[in-house]
Amino acid sequence: MSDLQSTRSPTTAELTIATPEGVLFRLPLAGVAPRLYAMLFDAAIVLGTVNGLGWLIYAIFAKAPGFGAMFITLAEFAIGFAYGALMEGYWNGQTIGKRLFHLRVIDQTGLPLRMEQAWVRNLMRVFDALPLAYLVGGVSVLCSPLRQRFGDRVAGTVVVRETPLPGPGEESWTRQKYNSFMNYPAVAMRLRRAATPELASLIQDALRRRNELAPYARREIYRELAAYLQSEVASFPDELVEMLSDEQYLINAVGALFGDQRLSKL
């Protein structure tokens, strides 16, 4: 468990749910910035709607602008509160802004949001918005382990991140058609038996993060890993190793460790 936690950034807050069947799963919680962007986007939608409505109402009440102003003031007020509550209540915890920024409001037990929760958390904005620019709400989010503003605390809700994930397809670096290590099945088998799960996962993770590493760091890490495997775990013939880059060496090694079915048949 500690190994798993160490693979995540320590600044990422998560909601951990334990189901009645004993299944544990985690949902990443949204921070202040994406929530702020989503809120600004929603505010722009509300303002746009109110202004559009305002033009329409002024056109209808052209001879009675006072009544037009009354309708606009009331509509602006009602839309300001109802937009968030109704969108979240009927659209499974999302407004247009939240959808755009991949956020969703859910019950803190991991279940979908209920309508009364949507209303409570949105009405509580009058407090979270104090004294200006959502300072109370923002500080509350930063101080809360579940990243909740006061409205969320009262309604028992959290805002989770739902960034798009790739499907469970194969990773590109495991799809190579030819793996030269397979020409030496005995050595490959030795590699597979001698490598610990931690070492295998380390190599896999290093390859997965190839685009996140700086070129120099990537070259050094791959060189050290390849050298360690070659000298301490399983030595492939020098004439083969000399033809391979360190990265290709590791790709072949991972293919032998995880992906290639031919070794399983040996």
Partner 1 sequence: MILDLERFRAQARPRWSKLEALLSALESRPDRRLQPAEAEQLQELYAQTAADLNRVTHGALAPELRQYIERLVARAYAELYYSPPTRSKIWQPRRGLRILTEFPEAFRRQYRHFALALLITVLGSALGGFAVRYDPASVDVLLPADYLRNPGQRVDQESKGQNRHLDSAQIEAAFSAQLITHNIQVALLAAALGATFGIGTALLLFENGVLLGAVAVRYTQQGFGLFVTAWLLPHGAFEIPSILIAGQAGFYLARLLLRRPEDRDMRRAMHEWLLLVGGLALMLVWAGLMEAFFSQHHAPVLPYGLKVAVGAGELVLLTTYLLLIGRRGTIAEDHANAPLESK
Residue whose CB is less far from partner 1, 22 or 215: 22
Q: Which is nearer to partner 1, 134 or 150 (CB)?
A: 150
User: What is the nearest approach in angstroms of partner 1 to the Cβ of residue 90?
Assistant: 8
- Smallest gap from Cβ 126 to partner 1, in A, equals 5
Q: How far is the CB of 227 from partner 1 (least distance, A)?
A: 21
CA-wise closest residue to 178 among 230, 265, 264, 256:
256
CA separation for the pair 132, 19 (Å, rounded): 39
d(CA 222, CA 231): 14
Q: How far is the CB of 141 from partner 1 (least distance, A)?
A: 14
Comparing CB distances to partner 1, the nearer of 128 and 246 is: 128
Q: Provide the minimum distance between the beta carbon of 256 and partner 1 in the complex, in angstroms, as a whole number.
A: 11
Of the two residues 55 and 208, which places its CB atom closer to partner 1 in the complex?
A: 208
Phi, psi of 203 (to 5 degrees): -65, -45
Minimum separation from the CB atom of position 116 to partner 1 (A): 5
Q: Which is nearer to partner 1, 73 or 183 (CB)?
A: 73
Smallest gap from Cβ 239 to partner 1, in A, equals 28
- Residue keyed to tokens 């058609």: 177
φ/ψ (deg, to 5) at 20 = -60, -25
CB of 41 to partner 1, least distance (A): 23
In the bound state with partner 1, the residue whose beta carbon lies nearer, of 71 and 184, is 71
| Choice between 130 and 217, CB closer to partner 1 | 130
| Choice between 92 and 183, CB closer to partner 1 | 92
Contacts with partner 1 by CB under 8 A lie at 3-4, 7-8, 17, 19, 21, 23, 25-27, 64-67, 69-74, 77, 90, 92, 106, 110-112, 114-117, 119-120, 123-124, 126-127, 150, 153-156, 162, 165-170, 174, 195, 197, 200-202, 204-205, 208, 257-259, 261, 264
CB neighbours of 169 closer than 8 A, spacing ≥ 6? Answer: none
